[in-house]
Amino acid sequence: MTAYADTGFIVSLYKEQTTSAEANTAIRNLEAPVLLSDLSVLEFRNALNLAVFRKEIPTDSYDRVLLRFKADLEAGLFQVLPVPSSRLYAESARLSDAHSTTLGMRTLDLMHVVSALILGAGKFLSFDSRQRAAAKAEGLEVLP
């Protein structure tokens, strides 16, 4: 079954965080490729840029992380697939109506869950409790 990873999960693989060990274990137990959207890639890049801004990582670490990420893409660990914007926005509005009043969902978090659904993923990789709850409510298996 195909998995989709949200940005926080991906960042945990490349930047040391409290969730990094768990993310690394989970990714080893999955069938490649793990699906990503263009939103995932943009947010990943911005998370690294923010880490440089916050002095959490030096600029040369940013460059090395991007090279590792590109190598993992080329090796087939991840696959970036397009998500049609008309479907993305319509389905995100539906999920907002279904879950934001009870789960406090943020827009980009909704869009990741919707991207997983549109791309046909059966598994959703995230450490965010609200995203996990929405993904589970939408029928996705939530990991780790």
Which residues on neighbouring strands pair with residue 21, listed in sequence order? none
Q: Residue 13's closest CA among 52, 37, 48, 55?
A: 48
| This prediction's pTM | 0.94
Burial 73-95 (b: 16+ CB within 10 A, else e): eeeeebeebebeeeebeebbeeb
Give the whole-number percent of the chain exceeding pLDDT 70. Answer: 100
The total of structural domains in the chain comes to 1
Range of the domain at 121: 3-143
CATH number for the domain harbouring residue 9: 3.40.50.1010
- pLDDT tens profile 86-134: 999 999 999 999 999 999 999 999 999 999 999 999 999 999 999 999 9
